[in-house]
Amino acid sequence: MSVSFIGIGFIFIYSIIEYFMQYSTLGWEAFITERIANQNWVRYIISRIVGGVLYGMIMAYYFELRKLKSKR
């Protein structure tokens, strides 16, 4: 459960930061044209899901390991 929450948070924050760093002056049209048009949306969504799951798993493992060490 924590992996999914951490992963979704990562996807949301990373996507917002990426949008503002790359497309803030160009607007939504440039984002849609480059990231979503021409079947690129599948690659975009898959990359976000894989990145979110990996980040969530790493962070959940770190928090669990830290919790186990504090119980010693």
Domain boundaries of the chain, sorted by first residue: 2-71
Tell me the average pLDDT of the chain.
82
Helix (H, G, I), strand (E, B) or coil at 26: coil
Report the predicted TM-score, pTM, of the whole model to 2 decimal places: 0.68
With a cut of 70, say whether residue 71 has pLDDT above it. Answer: yes
Measured CA to CA, the distance from residue 38 to residue 23 in angstroms comes to 18
- Band of pLDDT at residue 28, cut at 50, 70 and 90: confident
What average pLDDT does this structure show over 62-71? 85
* Residue-level pLDDT at 1: 64
